[in-house]
Amino acid sequence: MNTYTYFFSICLSRSQPVSSPVVLQFGHAETLLPLLSLMGYFKDKEPLTAYNYKEQMHRKFRSGHIVPYASNLMFVLYHCKNAKTPKEEFRVQMLLNEKVLPLAHSQETASLYEDLKEHYRDLLQSCRASDECELPKVNNTSDEL
């Protein structure tokens, strides 16, 4: 599990009410691409191979387009004061490189917070943040080049 999955898990698995906004800043294509893939984005019907490259010229998964040199992914949490039910009080929108990213599970531009948590429930329940983010107790690095 990487940093993105950890923060995603922390944000969506909270059982307490959201009390204040949080701004998280992190990045690297090497962690952003796996998170987007884990969340179900940019999946092609047929995998890219050396034999079907020409047919796959317009595939969804194009890493240079998804995460160019400077990329960002934002989860925007909206508080809806006029919600009819507690479930409708919070909505989430995702932006990839400052462009709205339709949610993978519904193709909508925003989702109820509770629906998003439910959609990723299996992923969130399998997250062991304390195990994944634990620092090594012994320094195994060498000073030699």
CA–CA distance, 123 with 142 (Å, rounded to integer):
36
Q: Tokens 């944000």 map to which residue?
A: 11
Q: What is the pTM of this model?
A: 0.66
CA–CA distance, 19 with 27 (Å, rounded to integer):
25
The pLDDT tens digits for 55-84 are 888 888 888 888 887 788 888 888 888 889
| Residue 85 pLDDT | 92
Q: Integer distance in angstroms from the first to the last C-alpha of the chain? A: 28
| Residue 93 pLDDT | 92
Nearest residue to 73 (alpha-carbon basis) of 39, 43, 38, 97: 97
Q: Tokens 């299996």 map to which residue?
A: 122
Strands 90-96 and 111-112, sheet pairing: antiparallel
CA–CA distance, 68 with 62 (Å, rounded to integer):
10
- 3-state DSSP call for residue 113? helix
| Residue 6 pLDDT | 42
- Name residues whose C-beta falls within 8 Å of residue 18's C-beta, 6 or more positions apart in sequence: 77, 79, 90, 113
CA angle 122–63–1, rounded 5-degree value = 35
CA–CA distance, 29 with 5 (Å, rounded to integer):
14
Rounded average pLDDT per 10-residue block, the chain, 145 residues: 43 54 65 85 86 86 81 86 90 90 90 90 78 70 63
